[in-house]
Chain A
Amino acid sequence: MKKVSVSFTLNGDAVTAEVPVTWTLLKTLREHFELTGAKEGCGVGECGACTVIVDGEAVNSCLYPIFEIEGKSVTTIEGLANEDGTLNPIQQAFLENNGVQCGFCTSGMIMSAKGLLDHNPEPTEDEIRSSIAGNFCRCTGYVQIVEAIDMAAKTLK
């Protein structure tokens, strides 16, 4: 299969990957870089479990063609914790406020929350809910996720 070589920034590191041209960003992250935090919950951009940050915006990596990543900057859930291993306030808030149950949607939820809080440090509940409108969760009913993002916003302020 025809391959493409792409160079981009991944969690702060300059990386290059040569992967099949048909691969998505999600597939490249999971298969080539073995970063399995982003999940495939549907593969068609409906559930948000694959959410990562590209150049500051939360995107569905399952829809993102790999050849479009050239020169861009990608942050995944694996790049969120601090270098000393301590958790980012969003991660901490999800643990403390029970924003996590089975955890399958969690990476995507947290990255969507990061996408929001990076742009909008004081979001309203409506804005929080909008930011995760494309992230499905079957366990929580979203209530404690919304509360966790609110808690993280207050910690980050």
Chain B
Amino acid sequence: MSDHLFVGKSVPRTIEADKVTGRAIYIDDMKRPGMLYGKILYSKYAHAKIKSIDTSKAEKLPGVRAVLTGYDIPDARVGFLKDQTVLKKDVVRQFRDEVAAVAAISPEIAEEACRLIEVEYEQLPGVFDPFEAMKEGAPLVHEVDARGRPTKSNILPLPWKFNAGDIEQGRKDSAFTVKDTVSTTWVNQCCMGTSGCIAEFDQNNNLTLYNQTNVIFGHVGRISEYFAQIGLKGKKIRIVNAIVGGSFGTKLDTDIYEFISIQLALKTRKPVKILFTREEEFKALPPRQPAIFDIEQGCDKEGNLTFRKVEAVLDNGAYTSWGATTPSVMLMPMSSLYRVPNVFFQATCVYTNNIYCQAMRGYGNPQATFAVETSMDTLAEAAGIDPLEFRMINRNHPGDETPMRLKITSCGFEECINAVKEKLNWSEKKGTKKGRGVGMASLIHVAGGARVTRSDGHGIMVKVNEFGQVDVIESGTDQGQGSPTVITQIVAEALGVRPEDISLTFGDTALALWDAGTHASRHTFMAGNAAIMACEKAKRQILDMAVEHMPKIIKGGFKRKKRKDPDFVEPDLDYGLIADPEDLDIRDRMIFAKKNPDHPHFRIPVSQILREGLLGSGESKVVVAEEFYDPPTEMLDREFKGNLSQTYAFGTSGVEVEVDEKTGEVKIVNLVAAHDVGKAMNPTLLLGQIYGAAYTGVGYGLTEEIKVVNGRVMNPGFRDYQMLTAMDVVPVEPVVVEPGDEDGPYGAKGVGEPGLVPTAPAIANAVYDAIGVRIKDLPITPEKVLAALKERGDVC
């Protein structure tokens, strides 16, 4: 492993130099000839009947090319539960409901036209709390379901119920039990590049959608379904991605604005671009799913967990995107973070007239881990065991099979806990109080793909031209995580060329093989494995060429030498050394004989062989190989059990905080982020993932919150939404644990999401250690800290 030329090295992001020169083209920067600009008119109310819409003034505005309402387009239903239409008619159910859309020659004219659309509403009673919404007699958010059948309640028809072992037996085995209620709120993904796309139809009504999705083929699937409903069945759909200005979950679902741009493009026969403003990004883009958990855990006298019982309620908002599927990921920490024999988990998703939710880095894991790790601390205290020791007792081990049937292979959990213990000086600092405290939390996450669809495959294609230059057609998406550099390193290593020989093409469904999506921290693992296999095939083709051409080239060289120098004696070489492709290899652009790598004659530049193979004597050949890597994993069964990932990530965050008991402010003095990454493919880029995720986790823990009042987003901008800035100094100390994973490319596991997951609960636990009050509702704002101190009687 140690003789790698590129893997494991901090290769700089030179392949992305366009990002530092302003050349990188994001969706914001893209224009198509004749392109129009689309704008959306949203609802004025959280719940209302639409009595009338008058678009006549908007249509007359010079420069307007189309005005559409729900009454102008087919009633096709979209979304995970098909519970909404693209433009709403008759009833609006949230403030972000799309009521009308305009295409015009400039964004300003489109916006002005939206203002000229007159909509008359009749307000309906709304419901804004999931517990209220579950009560009998609560206003129904949907009167009928997707099939038109009358609904009886606001509870979604989703089956999130997991049972393993026997909770009652677990209770009997317990010496200590605790029960906590914890909750998390809406947070915005805050991609610096806002949402947007350009829809363009050709003469035959085939669509090209310029986009920034991280699931290009999922987009094709969903738009195909839509096409089937609007009379475009069988028309071709091509997704072409621009450079993506951040994703963090927002580009996972096909959002309503994308369908609207398609409708406007159909109507006008022109390319139509929709680009969100920052305000829209806060108001009209689904944020992270909030959740409220009742969690109960028990342990025996020795501190071994006996059971975990959790009931969750999720405010689904008015429609359903991926937010309602976060329980499928919550299941993982609920059932498998620490060894726990008896587990019950149930999640109820409830319609309200609030904003609806989707994915965000970590999916449901940060919410669930906040619940589990809060409970771990309260239980450790009840049992009188040091929280770190308590976690060490219950940690997962290599070779474990969890109640969810996850098969734990490589597992550096113990090292992660020990790293926190040592770096944070835990034993000395724990329990000293006086406003300063330490806390910790851990995580488990998928790190070898996640079989959430029937195929968890990933396609890649590798072409090598006659100059030794390599084109890699990659089916995934670079959202900033550094895949272009890491995949380049892997291809250079596996094929035996240099990073500068390689070009990558991402995100084009017309070129790429299928991929399940760049989600679930899977890109390095999946693309890496696929790339290694594809490169092996391409390499074999090159070495077959070498077997055919090397002797000819070498002997030809001797002949030429002899012509120049009659005294030259051709050396007697053992051509058997290069007679079999198995005996050859390529490294750093050179083909050589494995049995004698320094052989003075049996070393030839790969480009020379490639040229000879294409243009020399004999049969002309090109080098191209593809691989579709679908890992040997399982889809979850009806009981939500199955080994859905080929490997799992573990990690532990340890935090030291200082709490100002007068202001309630929490300052992070030190944040140790220890992560089992399998193998660091590029140490510098890896740290970037840990730092970035930890910061977002600190925001989740301390400052970030979309304030929603009666369905309305009250803080739709960076001034009032408190994302961390460079002035918020958080000293993050990453610890990289590298046990190596036998199934990962060169030993690597996924690491994109893990850094975020345990951060907030570690902070909450540290705050408790510092001041003795436990905040169970994120974010831990100064107001909440002061209120908790006041309740305890410390502050008047």
For B691, give its contact among A87, A107, A132, A143 (CB under 8 Å): A143
Query: Which residues of chain A have C-beta atoms less than 8 A from B192's C-beta?
Result: 39, 41, 47, 49, 102, 104-105, 136-139
Query: Which residues of chain B have C-beta atoms less than 8 A from A107's C-beta?
Result: 20, 22
* Segment with Cβ contacts to B, from A30-38, A53-61, A66-74: A30-38
Task: Evaluate contact between B726 and A41: CB separation under 8 angstroms.
Answer: no
**Which of B13, B22, B191, B482 has the largest number of chain A CB atoms within 10 A?**
B22
Query: Which residues of chain A have C-beta atoms less than 8 A from B19's C-beta?
Result: 100, 103, 106
- Which chain B residues (644-696) contact chain A, with CB distance < 8 Å? 684-685, 687-688, 691-696
Query: Which residues of chain B have C-beta atoms less than 8 A from A103's C-beta?
Result: 16, 19-20, 24, 243, 245, 480
- Minimum CB–CB distance for B543 against chain A, Å: 34
Task: Evaluate contact between B684 and A142: CB separation under 8 angstroms.
Answer: no
Give Cα A105–Cα B247 distance, bound, in whole angstroms: 14
Q: A111-145 toward B: CB 8 Å interface, digit per residue (1/0)?
A: 00000000000000000111011111111111111
Give Cα A78–Cα B479 distance, bound, in whole angstroms: 22
Closest to B247 in A: A102
Task: Evaluate contact between B20 and A101: CB separation under 8 angstroms.
Answer: no
- Which chain B residues (173-199) contact chain A, with CB distance < 8 Å? 189-194
Query: Which residues of chain A have C-beta atoms less than 8 A from B558's C-beta?
Result: none
Give Cα A154–Cα B28 distance, bound, in whole angstroms: 34
Give Cα A79–Cα B637 distance, bound, in whole angstroms: 57
Judge if A76 is at the interface, Cβ distance under 8 Å. Answer: yes
Query: Which residues of chain B have C-beta atoms less than 8 A from A92's C-beta?
Result: 20
Give Cα A92–Cα B20 distance, bound, in whole angstroms: 8
- Which chain A residues (138-157) contact chain B, with CB distance < 8 Å? 138-146
* B interface list, Cβ under 8 A from A: 12-14, 16-17, 19-26, 28-29, 189-194, 243-248, 277-278, 479-482, 684-685, 687-688, 691-696, 717-719, 723-727, 729-730, 732
| Known contacts A100-B480, A104-B26; 17 further A-B pairs (Cβ under 8 A) | A37-B23, A42-B717, A77-B21, A95-B16, A95-B17, A100-B13, A102-B245, A104-B193, A104-B245, A137-B192, A138-B189, A141-B692, A141-B695, A141-B730, A142-B691, A143-B687, A144-B684
Query: Which residues of chain B have C-beta atoms less than 8 A from A4's C-beta?
Result: none
Query: Which residues of chain B have C-beta atoms less than 8 A from A139's C-beta?
Result: 192, 246, 480, 688, 692
4 closest Cβ pairs, A-B complex? A37-B22, A102-B480, A141-B695, A103-B19
Give Cα A40–Cα B28 distance, bound, in whole angstroms: 8
Query: Which residues of chain A have C-beta atoms less than 8 A from B691's C-beta?
Result: 140-144
Give 25 A-B contacts (CB < 8 Å), ordered by A residue: A35-B22, A37-B21, A39-B26, A39-B245, A41-B192, A44-B717, A76-B22, A78-B22, A95-B20, A98-B687, A101-B480, A102-B193, A102-B245, A129-B729, A130-B726, A133-B725, A133-B726, A136-B190, A136-B718, A139-B480, A140-B688, A140-B692, A141-B691, A141-B695, A145-B726
Closest to B720 in A: A46
Query: Which residues of chain B have C-beta atoms less than 8 A from A37's C-beta?
Result: 21-23
Task: Evaluate contact between A81 and B21: CB separation under 8 angstroms.
Answer: yes
- Minimum CB–CB distance for B12 against chain A, Å: 4
Closest to B695 in A: A141
- Minimum CB–CB distance for A112 against chain B, Å: 10
Query: Which residues of chain A have C-beta atoms less than 8 A from B717's C-beta?
Result: 42, 44, 46
Task: Evaluate contact between B688 and A110: CB separation under 8 angstroms.
Answer: no
Give Cα A46–Cα B245 distance, bound, in whole angstroms: 17
Give Cα A128–Cα B725 distance, bound, in whole angstroms: 12
- The B interface is mostly helix, strand or loop, or mixed, namely loop
Query: Which residues of chain B have C-beta atoms less than 8 A from A9's C-beta?
Result: none
For B692, give its contact among A38, A104, A138 (CB under 8 Å): A138
Task: Evaluate contact between A43 and B20: CB separation under 8 angstroms.
Answer: no
- Minimum CB–CB distance for A156 against chain B, Å: 15
Query: Which residues of chain A have C-beta atoms less than 8 A from B482's C-beta?
Result: 98, 101
Closest to A92 in B: B20
Task: Evaluate contact between B248 and A138: CB separation under 8 angstroms.
Answer: yes
Query: Which residues of chain B have C-beta atoms less than 8 A from A110's C-beta?
Result: 20
- Minimum CB–CB distance for A143 against chain B, Å: 4
State whether A78 and B21 are in contact (beta carbons under 8 Å apart), knowing that A39-B193, A98-B482, A140-B692 are contacts in the complex: yes
Judge if A24 is at the interface, Cβ distance under 8 Å. Answer: no
**Which of A38, A46, A76 has the largest number of chain B CB atoms within 10 A?**
A46
Task: Evaluate contact between A101 and B718: CB separation under 8 angstroms.
Answer: no
Task: Evaluate contact between B684 and A97: CB separation under 8 angstroms.
Answer: yes
Give Cα A130–Cα B695 distance, bound, in whole angstroms: 18
State whether A129 and B726 are in contact (beta carbons under 8 Å apart), knowing that A42-B717, A138-B248, A141-B692 are contacts in the complex: yes
**Which of A37, A105, A129, A134 has the largest number of chain B CB atoms within 10 A?**
A37
**Which of A96, A98, A133 has the largest number of chain B CB atoms within 10 A?**
A98
Closest to B690 in A: A141
Query: Which residues of chain B have C-beta atoms less than 8 A from A133's C-beta?
Result: 725-727
Closest to B14 in A: A95
- Minimum CB–CB distance for A1 against chain B, Å: 9
Give Cα A36–Cα B268 distance, bound, in whole angstroms: 27
Task: Evaluate contact between A136 and B481: CB separation under 8 angstroms.
Answer: no
State whether A144 and B688 are in contact (beta carbons under 8 Å apart), knowing that A39-B28, A76-B22, A98-B482 are contacts in the complex: yes
Give Cα A102–Cα B245 distance, bound, in whole angstroms: 5
For A42, give its contact among B278, B684, B688 (CB under 8 Å): B278
State whether A95 and B246 are in contact (beta carbons under 8 Å apart), knowing that A38-B22, A77-B21 are contacts in the complex: no
Task: Evaluate contact between B21 and A102: CB separation under 8 angstroms.
Answer: no
Query: Which residues of chain B have C-beta atoms less than 8 A from A97's C-beta?
Result: 684
- Minimum CB–CB distance for B336 against chain A, Å: 28
State whether A102 and B194 are in contact (beta carbons under 8 Å apart), knowing that A46-B719, A142-B726 are contacts in the complex: no
Give Cα A42–Cα B192 distance, bound, in whole angstroms: 8
Q: A79-97 toward B: CB 8 Å interface, digit per residue (1/0)?
A: 0110000010001101111
- Minimum CB–CB distance for A61 against chain B, Å: 13
Give Cα A106–Cα B245 distance, bound, in whole angstroms: 10
For A47, give its contact among B278, B688, B727 (CB under 8 Å): B278
- Minimum CB–CB distance for B31 against chain A, Å: 9
Task: Evaluate contact between A95 and B727: CB separation under 8 angstroms.
Answer: no
Task: Evaluate contact between A77 and B22: CB separation under 8 angstroms.
Answer: yes
Task: Evaluate contact between B688 and A36: CB separation under 8 angstroms.
Answer: no
Task: Evaluate contact between B723 and A138: CB separation under 8 angstroms.
Answer: yes
Give Cα A135–Cα B26 distance, bound, in whole angstroms: 18
Query: Which residues of chain A have C-beta atoms less than 8 A from B28's C-beta?
Result: 36, 39-40
For B190, give its contact among A44, A77, A138 (CB under 8 Å): A138
Give Cα A107–Cα B190 distance, bound, in whole angstroms: 18
Closest to B25 in A: A36
Closest to B11 in A: A96
Task: Evaluate contact between A43 and B277: CB separation under 8 angstroms.
Answer: yes
Give Cα A142–Cα B727 distance, bound, in whole angstroms: 9
Closest to A76 in B: B22
Give Cα A38–Cα B696 distance, bound, in whole angstroms: 24
For A101, give its contact among B692, B725, B732 (CB under 8 Å): B692
Give Cα A132–Cα B729 distance, bound, in whole angstroms: 13
For B22, give its contact among A36, A98, A129 (CB under 8 Å): A36
- Minimum CB–CB distance for B784 against chain A, Å: 24
Task: Evaluate contact between B21 and A87: CB separation under 8 angstroms.
Answer: yes
Closest to B697 in A: A141
Task: Evaluate contact between A87 and B727: CB separation under 8 angstroms.
Answer: no
Query: Which residues of chain B have C-beta atoms less than 8 A from A130's C-beta?
Result: 726-727
- Minimum CB–CB distance for A126 against chain B, Å: 9
Query: Which residues of chain A have C-beta atoms less than 8 A from B692's C-beta?
Result: 101, 138-141
Give Cα A81–Cα B720 distance, bound, in whole angstroms: 36
Give Cα A127–Cα B688 distance, bound, in whole angstroms: 22
- Minimum CB–CB distance for B649 against chain A, Å: 19
Query: Which residues of chain A have C-beta atoms less than 8 A from B480's C-beta?
Result: 100-103, 139
- Minimum CB–CB distance for A3 against chain B, Å: 14
For A138, give its contact among B20, B246, B694 (CB under 8 Å): B246
Query: Which residues of chain A have C-beta atoms less than 8 A from B12's C-beta?
Result: 95-96, 98
